[in-house]
Amino acid sequence: MNPLVRWFHQLGSPPTFDRFAARWAKWGYALGLLAMVIGVLWALNVLARLPSPLGGMFNVPADYQQGDSFRILYIHVPAAWMSMAVFGLMAIYAAIALVWRIKLCEILAMACAPIGAAFTLITLVTGSIWGKPMWGTWWDWDPRLTTELILLFLYLGVIGIYGAIDDRRIAARAASFLAIVGVVLLPIIRYSVVWWNSLHQGQTIRLLGGSSMDPSMIPPLVWMLVGTKLWFAGALLTRARADNLRRETGKAWVRQLAGSAR
């Protein structure tokens, strides 16, 4: 058996997963929050202003064109990357769920959707806020903006199907199918700036060298990236755990759990 599948099978028993999720979700939230706080403080130059000998190391200069408004990048870019990464992850879970019929993967895929939708919404909102000073308009029908909006609709579609079918497993399979079909959108979002001429900025950031951005601007972004990933892990485990419990309502181990909680 495929090792990945075997791992899922081992973790896949609902009580085991419940214990796993209950243990690790809070760590995801806590560490993610910590990293994001560091990232934001760093980005806003709060760390640089702290009285410490290393203060200068934390300085993030204002952009020579955009002034301080560029700092919204530290929310916009991590959220944008997460919006796509979560969809990809959801599609992977969905594929495993469809092919090997692993229930845990159905649950995980469905737990991805609302979180990814939230990241997408954050991307859209922060992008609009940034767009007003930069382009003079909140919104434009630019390829990248449009495709990102469509990504939001796809997320909503997945959530919608999952909610519209009564049988949880059939619902999850139908929604998984849509998630897999929707993956074609990801490269389009990513390369839309290359294929069509676009208002939106092209590929500028490389985390490992060759970036056209000032190197001092990079570290807070890394903190934000790590922070959003960890936060996502926490949210995913929490949501999956809730769904898992809901599906298992009435089973002995859930009743035992409820009893011991009381």
Query: Does 125 sit near other proteins (CB under 8 A)?
Result: no
Radius of gyration of the chain (CA): 21
Q: Does 128 participate in binding ligand HEM (rule CB under 6 A)?
A: yes
Closest-CA residue to 168 (of 1, 3, 14, 6): 14
Q: Does 99 bind other proteins (CB under 8 A)?
A: no
Q: Among 203, 207, 214, 246, which residue interacts with ligand HEM (rule: CB under 6 A)?
A: 203
* Using rule CB under 6 A, residue 228 touches ligand HEM: no
Q: Please tell me the distance from the alpha carbon of residue 248 to that of residue 103, in angstroms, as a whole number.
A: 12
| 177 makes contact with other proteins (CB under 8 A) | yes
Task: Determine the distance from the C-alpha atom of residue 12 to the mean position of all C-alpha atoms in its chain, rounded to a whole number.
Answer: 23
Report which residue's Cβ sits closest to ligand HEM: 127
From the list 32, 39, 116, 127, which residue makes contact with ligand HEM (rule: CB under 6 A)? 127
How many angstroms separate the CA atoms of 46 and 40, rounded? 9
| Contacts with other proteins, 127-166, as mask; x by CB under 8 A | ----------xxxxxx---x--xx--xx-xx-xxx-xxx-
- Do 151 and 84 meet the contact criterion of CB atoms below 8 Å apart? yes
Distance CA(10)–CA(100), nearest Å, equals 14
- Cross-strand bridge partners of residue 67: 63
* Residue 221 binding ligand HEM, by CB under 6 A: no
Q: What is the largest CA-CA distance in the chain?
A: 63
Compare residues 168 and 213 and give the one whose CB is closer to other proteins.
168
Nearest distance from C-beta of residue 115 to ligand HEM, angstroms: 16
Q: Kindly state the smallest distance separating residue 198's Cβ from other proteins, in Å.
A: 11
Tokens of 257: 């759990």
Q: Rounded CA gap, 232 and 226, in Å?
A: 10
Tokens at residue 98, please? 């469809």
Which of other proteins, ligand HEM, none does 144 bind, CB closer than 5 to 8 A by kind?
Answer: ligand HEM
List residues binding ligand HEM (CB under 6 A).
Answer: 73, 76-77, 80-81, 123-124, 127-128, 130-131, 134, 144-145, 148, 189-190, 200-201, 203-205
